[in-house]
Structure formats: structure tokens, C-alpha cells
Amino acid sequence: MTKLLVVATGNPGKLREMQAYLADLAWELTLKPEELEVEETGDTFAANACLKASQVALATGNWAIADDSGLQVDALGGAPGVYSARYGKTDSERIARVLRELDNQTNRQAQFACAVAIARPDGAIALQSEGVCRGEILQSPRGNGGFGYDPIFYVPKLQLTFAEMTPDLKRSISHRGKAIEALLPQLAILD
């Protein structure tokens, strides 16, 4: 029997990404209602993911899945962190700000981090996980794929930025991929 899982986002791209991760499970994914907005007031990715999953589950009466993720740059004390999406008005402004703040910094180490939470229809958090992908920040953008900070996030072992990777390759090594992968065994048996 197929169960409904509301993805706590209004972004159809994120819905497609979640569907790809969860393709082998008996869950039907749908976007949250457009008018339902959840303010991310948590000070960690995990707190924001739990907040979004819980509020969307309560509002819809269905299971809900939410994630929160962002870029953490070592030399910037972990910034932009939970403020990654609000670090500028556009992706190019956000990238320019990170590059400007790093300026001539030799430590370019960084990571993408992601927290995922799944809430029961009553809003109680049933599952949580986190994933990290380490890399470094380039001096300038490379590649045309992906979104956000992908063009400046370089994975040395693959010698590619996230923006240069195929969607399947990025999914297999990304912070979100690792966080969701950790949930799959438990998600398959939830009821």
C-alpha cells in the first residue's frame, strides 16, 4: 500500500530530488501546500529540519519529511551555515559574498551539511539523520549544473565541483544523499 509523504518544501526541484532518493520505497511524495510557510528559527540544521517536518505533518495530517542544509566554511567559522540561503538575494550574490569573505585565505576547506527529519501525522519526529560532504572552496565558479554554492564547492577526490557533476554522481556523494541514505532502512518499515 502506498503511503503519502509530504515534502516540506515548495520547490519542485527538491521534490524530484527526494523522489529519486526514495524511488524504491512505497511512499507517494507530494509538495506541502503552497500557503503553508514554516519559519526556520532553529540555530542548527537539525532543529530547522525537525521544525519544518513537525509543522507540515501537523498542518496536513500526513507523514512529512524535511531537510535543512547549507555550506559551512572552516575559515569563516562555519558561516554561512544555517544562513546559507539568506547570505544574499541570489545564488550569484551568495557565491560572490563567500568568495569576497575568503579573499586571499589559504584555508579553503569547507563542507556541505544536511539534516533530514521525518515526522508522524501527529507532528512527533520519527526519524532524523545528518550527512556531510567535505570539500573546498575554489577561487571562482566552475560548471553549469546544480544550484546554490555548487559552482564553487570542489570535491578533490573527484576533481569536480558539484556543478560539474552529473545529478546521479552528486546524489551518491552529497550531504543530502548521505543523510537520506542513513534513513532508508528505517523509512522502509515505518507505518
Residue 68 falls in the annotated catalytic set: yes
- Residues with Cβ within 8 Å of 140's Cβ and at least 6 positions away in sequence, in order, are 99, 152
Distances (CA, A) of 140 to 43, 65, 87, 133, 173: 29, 34, 17, 20, 22
What is the sign of the dihedral through the CA atoms of 100, 136, 115 and 34? Answer: positive
Angle, to 10 degrees, between the axis of helix 12-21 and the axis of helix 175-187? Answer: 60
* Cα–Cα distance, 22 to 56 (Å, whole number): 19
Which of 68, 122, 168, 191 is the catalytic position? 68
- Which active-site residues does the annotation give? 68
